[in-house]
Chain A
Amino acid sequence: MANRAAKKQEPRKGEAHPRGSTTPLEWAIAALGAMLLAALLLYLAYFAVSYRETAPAASVEALSVAPAGAGYLVRYRVVNEANGTAAGLQVIGQLRRGDETIEEREAVIDYLPPFSAREGGFYFSQDPGSYELVLSLGGYSEP
């Protein structure tokens, strides 16, 4: 670590950085930094103004059904279309026949960020093709 004594060493030879001179190259990089900062602020301001509501709006859909091991795997995708995060979001998958629930599986998504999607799957022992596959969402908490 440099200390105040070390700071007082002799200037190195060829230290080509004279007083008050930020080189054009450095200004160019600085301009990129300024653009990044400005873009970030504008982007966040746009979100803050456009989306006052901060409750998540999630929906679930099945992606695929395929045999897996001794049973079947139903892959799902949960999409959030609002500017709010759901934490600990419950996803529920059921195989039904009429009013009767044959099998029920549950999964938890740790975090579903704003305008984002998360994927997962349910393992069923029965063939989902022979029943009605119902995917639904349970509760979540605000992070």
Chain B
Amino acid sequence: MKASDRHGADRHFFVGLARAFAGALIFAMPLLMTMEMWQIGFYMGDVKLALLALVSFPLLVGLSRYSGFEPTYSLGDDVADALVAIFVGAVMATGVLWLFEVVGPETSPREAVGKIALQTVPAAIGATLARGQLHGARPESTEPDQEPGFAGELFLMGVGALFLGLNVAPTEEPILLSYMMGPWHQIALAAASILLMHGFVYAVEFPGQPRPMEGATFLSLLLRYTITGYVLVLGICIYLLWTFGRTSGLALEEIISAGIVLGFPASIGAAAARLIL
């Protein structure tokens, strides 16, 4: 690589890095200012937090593949993107939590690490998304991050569900709502979630809508994408509730109803992810 090219690439990288910081800040801001996130950061089990950090890594790699800010061409590039996003998320979360005095010199190491690590996950997702979304133009020949297949669509739905679910799951409201709502309202909420998911993607004609495949009937689209997607969304919601310690001591039916409540925002996140990413 010539010196001038190297300079251009570095400049390009710094612009991308600045976008990543902007994205981490925008996407993680509601969570940075959610007190449950600070508390859960220190009281959640070590294993649960480590698992969340572990799960987020392949997720960021996949997200970089389908959306990332740099047009990527190889797994190595996607891994680099994901690691840069983790770095950006951690630095941003540390900086903002320090400004808020949520962490400071008197905070014990375990408490600080828990608070920062938990915020790093949504911040890193935000960093990766922003590098994709705030991007003005991208070269035409970026086949890898165009038109994901079935697994790719499910992956994107999962990321969208995780992201919106992550914003709601730490709060007490999903559990409280699941106590307040009767079974019929819960069934209605599940039906509404599925309807909205399907409507968002196939009926409302947002830009970015996937083209209906040749010969694909309404029922086949509903079953293959929306219903499968909704089951995935529920799984992710229950994983998030478990991670945040919201399921401990609950009976199975209570866990399912909390999952349905959290599934409402998460399914909209899943549908939106298919359109936006």
A41 and B73: CB pair below 8 A?
Answer: no
Query: What does the 1/0 interface line of B79-109 toward A look like (CB < 8 Å)?
Result: 1111111111010000000000000001111
B228 interface residue per 8 A CB criterion: no
- Tell me how far the C-beta of B244 lies from the nearest C-beta in chain A, rounded to whole angstroms: 10
Q: Which of B79, B111, B275 contacts A113 (CB 8 A)?
A: B111
Smallest beta-carbon distance B207→chain A, Å: 4
Partner of B57, one of A20, A37, A54: A37
Instruction: Tell me, in angstroms, the Cα distance from A116 to B108 when the chains sit together.
Output: 5
What's the minimum C-beta distance from B2 to chain A, rounded to whole angstroms?
A: 10
How distant is A73 from chain B, measured CB to nearest CB, in Å? 20
Could you tell me the distance between the alpha carbons of A68 and B58 in the complex, rounded to whole angstroms? 57
Residues of B within 8 Å of A85, CB to CB, are: 42-43
Interface presence of B137 (CB below 8 A): yes
B133 CB contact (under 8 Å) in A2, A29, A31, A43: A2
Q: Are A47 and B208 within 8 A (Cβ)? A: no
CA A117 – CA B73 in complex, angstroms?
49
Per-residue A-contact encoding for B49-82, CB less than 8 Å = 1, 0 else = 1100110010000000000001101101101111
By the criterion CB–CB under 8 Å, are A10 and B137 in contact?
A: yes
When C-beta atoms are compared, the residue in chain A nearest to B138 turns out to be A7
Let me know if B10 and A23 touch, CB within 8 A: yes
Given contacts A21-B1, A115-B110, contact A32 B43 (CB under 8 A): no
| Shortest Cβ gap from A51 to chain B (Å) | 8
* Neighbouring A residues of B77 by C-beta, 8 Å: 20, 22
Bound CA span A11–B142, Å: 11
Judge whether B84 and A17 touch: CB under 8 Å. no
User: C-beta contact mask, A26-60 vs B, less than 8 Å → 1, else 0?
Assistant: 11011111101100110111011000001000000
Q: Is the CB of B111 within 8 A of A16?
A: no
**B34 located at the interface, meaning its Cβ lies under 8 Å from any Cβ of chain A in the complex:** no
Could you list which residues of chain A lie within 8 angstroms of chain B, going by C-beta atoms? 1-12, 14-23, 25-27, 29-34, 36-37, 40-41, 43-45, 47-48, 54, 83, 85, 87, 111, 113-117, 143
Given A1-B133, A17-B9, 4 more A-B residue pairs with CB atoms under 8 Å apart are A15-B139, A115-B108, A115-B110, A143-B39
Residues on B lying within 8 angstroms of A by beta carbon are: 1, 5-6, 8-13, 17, 39, 42-43, 45-47, 49-50, 53-54, 57, 70-71, 73-74, 76-77, 79-88, 90, 106-111, 113-114, 117, 132-133, 135-140, 142, 146-147, 207-208, 245, 275-276
